[in-house]
Structure formats: C-alpha cells, structure tokens
C-alpha cells in the first residue's frame, strides 16, 4: 500500500512525466505517446483477422441485448399533491482499466464498455498496458466499436492515479471500473474517496454444485478452465452424491499425477441440495455453477454470488458470450454488490414537486423538524403551505 501511495503521489505531482518513467520502470516499455492516435488504433484494428472480428461482432450483439434488457426506465409517480420520481442519468466520464502487456483481454473491454454505452455514458476512456508500445489488434477493434474518447497505453497503479486525478494527457474521469492486479486494485481503493470505483477485484473464484445428472469429466473441465486464470484461483466442487464426488476426485488425482498442474481444488460433501447452496452462500463466490436437474429451483435459494451458470451451461460461456458480465465481485463482496451492469454507469436523481401537499403531511414534516431542532426547516415549509 505504501508503494502504491508513492506511485499515486508521483502521478499527482509530475503527471505525464511520471507515467512515462513508471511505464519504463515497471513495464520496460518506452512510450513515445501515452495516448494511442486514431491512426494507430485503425492500423492495429485492420490487422485483426476476419474470424476474430466476426466473433467480436457476434458477441457484442448478444451482450448489448442483455444489457438493453436490464436498463431501467425513469420512474414518475405521485401522491397526495406531491409529484415525485427518479431520473436515471448516465455518468459522463468513465475510465475502463483493462489488464494487458503480454496478454490482451478484448472480452473485458466489451464487458465494461457495452453496459457503459447502453447506459448512455458519453465519454469512455481506456487504460491498458501496451505490448512494446503497440495496442493489441482486438483491443483496438473493440475500442473503435465503443467510440472511446482516448485509449492510453498505460497500466498499473499509475494508470488508476492518472484517471482519478488527470494529467496533461489523461482526462480525469468520474468513475473507474475494471479488473487488475494487486497494485491496480490497491490504487482503486486509495482513490475511492475522490472518484467512483466498481469495487476491488481479487483472484477469481468458482463454486460448482452438481447432482448425479452432471458428467464428472465436464465438472473437472469447468474447474480447470477457471483455473487458467492462475494458481490463486479459488476452486470448489460441492455435492451430496458420494459417487460423483469420488469420480471427480479420481479424475483430479489422475490429472495432478500426469501433469504439472499447480491448481488447488476443494471438494465438499454437503448433506443435500439446500445445504450445498447454503455453503455456497457462505462462500459468496464470484462464479456459481448449478450443474443440476432443477437449476431454477436452486437459483431461488442463491443469495451471494456474482453470476450463475445454470444446468448444462459451462461457466466459460458466461465469461465470453452468454450475456451476464465476467467483471464480478470477489473475496466475499457479493454479500453486498453485484457484477457490472448498466446500473454501475447510471445514477438515480430523485425529485419532488410538492405543488399542494396534503395538510397532514405538511404538519407531520413541521412537527418532526421541530422535534429534531431544525426550526428554520419547519418555518420554510410552514411559510409555503400554511
């Protein structure tokens, strides 16, 4: 945390110079320009294979459809002479962090950018570490589809600081979203008294609950797919079926013998279906898979998780294309928040037009204001309506 504070302070004090120096120091990349030019983005995007372009377009369409269906309408109502409601307003400037460097995650840019765009965010900015100064072709393709205002080739805690405080080149945003390593997340926490954040995302988590309708090979496949995110991935399989638990255990053991896998799996024996869901609720995992005959029935018992893959559905299809987000609460955060939706980019502005409020409500307000010692509050209401 002290290291991250030092990085954030450097960016506040020295702006772009600090970004160039820190990128050279940590990422070993000498940046000529922090901000990818439109020509750079077009050139990178043009080099992308047709196959990947078509895939992104197809997935885009599916994700947009999901988030369109979630977008809330404004609410207007009223009662007893008071007209009231909520107007949903999009956040104006949003910064999306996309991890990068050796790998690239166009899917993550879609997962954050599409709900932002559906919500109506007018200015989307992206920070993602470049590959030797170059923007990944698929990332460039998605950025252009999103119509981002700027794409900065900066990563790490310094990128978060730049978007939170602004530099000569990097625009100060209203909210920062997206996954990232420990430094990125620590920086998000540090700046979260100044700027909105989606949350603090840690290593990924998957809990699978299965009954005897599930195929043990596919359970293991799903666990291993999630495990691709790295050795700190938290992987749990829960069942009340001894035979299934043994089969899954057997496959995992045979794999660990033959392979240099560094994945850790937890197998849990539950009493029954309800107990299995109860255990999952207490874990509050990022991803939950209900690989059972009656997934909708079990879903009704689920309280704490980010996203649920139901029945035969592999969790990986949610990571890419089913509709729900893959930027989800980890580390128990699903106790109090969900994954990224349009709601992360909308604010409810409440309003009231008290044209002729009922007399008893006016009286009640004045009485309570006086009780709390707010004399002038009461007068300001009384002089209007009494």
Size of the site for a second copy (CB under 8 A): 115
Alpha-carbon gap, residue 124 to 97, rounded angstroms = 11
Which residues in 179-198 contact a second copy (CB under 8 A)? 189, 192-193, 195-196
C-alpha to C-alpha distances, 36 to 18, 128, 334, nearest whole angstrom: 18, 11, 35
Q: Which is nearer to a second copy, 59 or 151 (CB)?
A: 59
Segment lying near a second copy (by CB under 8 A), choices 88-96, 206-214, 235-243, 266-274: 88-96
Site mask for a second copy (CB under 8 A), range 134-173, x = bound: ----x-----------------------------------
272-to-211, 238, 282 alpha-carbon distances in Å: 10, 10, 16
Task: Tell the smallest beta-carbon distance from residue 288 to a second copy (Å).
Answer: 9
The minimum distance between CB 378 and a second copy, in angstroms, equals 7
Nearer to a second copy by C-beta: 18 or 124?
A: 124
Catalytic residue at 326?
Answer: no
- The candidate with the shortest Cα–Cα distance to 184, out of 163, 157, 153, 158, is 157
**Coil, helix or strand at residue 232:** coil
CB 371 → a second copy: shortest distance, Å? 5
Catalytic residue status for 287: yes
Burial class of residue 271, CB neighbours in 10 A (0-12, 13-18, 19+): exposed
- Residue closer to a second copy (CB basis): 26 or 320: 320
Minimum CB separation of residue 69 from a second copy in Å reads 5
Q: What Cα–Cα distance (Å) separates residue 89 from each residue in 53, 153, 230, 245, 347?
A: 32, 29, 38, 49, 5
Q: In the complex, what is the shortest distance from the CB of residue 35 to a second copy, in angstroms, rounded to a whole number?
A: 23
Binding residues for NAD(+): 97, 158, 181
Nearer to a second copy, 54 or 274 (CB): 54
Residues 12-51 that bind a second copy (CB under 8 A): 51
CB 218 within 8 A of CB 314: yes
Under 8 Å CB-to-CB from 109, ≥6 apart: which residues? 96, 98, 126, 128, 139, 142, 143, 146
Which entry of 286, 297, 379, 386 is annotated as an active-site residue? 286
HSE-CB for 314 with a 13 A CA cutoff = 17
Nearest in space to 10 (alpha carbons), one of 260, 187, 238: 187
Q: Which residues participate in the annotated binding site?
A: 97, 158, 181, 204, 226, 229, 287, 319, 372, 377
Smaller CB separation from a second copy, 266 or 312: 312
Q: Confirm or reject binding of residue 222 to a second copy (CB under 8 A).
A: yes
Q: Are 156 and 64 in contact (CB under 8 A)?
A: no
Which residues are within 8 A (CB) of 24 and not within 5 positions of it... i.e. 6 or more apart? 30, 31
Under the binding rule (CB under 8 A), the answer on residue 91 touching a second copy is: yes
**CB-CB contact of 315 with 235 (8 Å):** no
- What does the alpha-carbon distance between residue 177 and residue 184 come to, in Å, rounded to a whole number? 11
Handedness of CA 358, 363, 369, 375 (dihedral sign): positive
Which position among 3, 58, 271, 293 is part of the footprint of a second copy (CB under 8 A)?
58
Which of 103, 242, 257, 272 is close enough to bind a second copy by CB under 8 A?
A: 103
355 is a contact residue toward a second copy (CB under 8 A):
yes
Q: Which of 40, 67, 287, 326 is catalytic?
A: 287
Map the footprint of a second copy across residues 64-83, applying CB under 8 A: 65-66, 69-70, 72, 75, 77, 79-80, 82-83
> Least distance from C-beta 321 to a second copy, angstroms?
4
Of the candidates 10, 23, 45, 104, which one interacts with a second copy according to CB under 8 A? 104
Residues 261-320 that bind a second copy (CB under 8 A): 295-296, 299, 302-320
As a whole number of angstroms, the distance between CA 129 and CA 104 comes to 9
């Amino acid at each position: 945390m002290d290291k991250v504070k030092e990085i954030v302070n450097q960016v506040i004090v020295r702006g772009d110079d600090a970004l160039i120096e820190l990128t050279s120091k940590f990422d070993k990349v000498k940046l000529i320009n922090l901000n990818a030019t439109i020509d750079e983005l077009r050139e990178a995007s043009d080099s992308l294979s047709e196959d990947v372009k078509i895939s992104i377009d197809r997935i885009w369409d599916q994700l947009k459809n999901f988030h369109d269906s979630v977008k809330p309408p404004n609410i207007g109502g009223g009662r007893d002479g008071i007209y009231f409601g909520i107007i949903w307003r999009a956040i104006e400037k949003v910064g999306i962090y996309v991890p990068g460097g050796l790998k690239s995650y166009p899917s993550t840019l879609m997962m954050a950018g599409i709900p932002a765009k559906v919500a109506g965010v007018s200015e989307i900015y992206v920070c993602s570490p470049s590959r030797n100064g170059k923007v990944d072709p698929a990332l460039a393709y998605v950025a252009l589809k999103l119509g981002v205002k700027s794409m900065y080739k900066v990563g790490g805690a310094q990128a978060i600081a730049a978007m939170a405080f602004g530099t000569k080149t990097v625009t100060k945003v209203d909210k920062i979203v997206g996954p990232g390593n420990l430094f990125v997340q620590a920086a998000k926490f540090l700046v979260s008294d100044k700027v909105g954040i989606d949350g603090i995302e840690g290593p990924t988590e998957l809990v699978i609950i299965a009954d005897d309708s599930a195929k043990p090979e596919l359970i293991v496949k799903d666990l291993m797919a999630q495990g691709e995110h790295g050795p700190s991935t938290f992987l749990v399989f829960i069942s009340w079926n001894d035979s299934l638990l043994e089969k899954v255990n057997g496959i995992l053991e045979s794999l660990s013998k033959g392979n240099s896998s560094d994945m850790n799996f937890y197998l849990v024996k539950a009493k029954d279906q309800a107990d299995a869901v109860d255990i999952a609720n207490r874990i509050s995992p990022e991803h939950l898979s209900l690989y059972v005959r009656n997934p909708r029935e079990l879903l009704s018992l689920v309280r704490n998780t980010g996203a649920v893959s139901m029945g035969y559905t592999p969790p990986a299809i949610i990571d890419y294309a089913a509709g729900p987000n893959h930027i989800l609460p980890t580390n128990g955060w699903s106790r109090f928040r969900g994954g990224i939706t349009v709601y992360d980019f909308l604010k409810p502005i409440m309003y009231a037009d008290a044209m002729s409020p009922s007399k008893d409500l006016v009286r009640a307000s004045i009485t309570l204001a006086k009780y709390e010692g707010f004399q002038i509050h009461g007068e300001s209401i009384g002089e209007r309506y009494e």
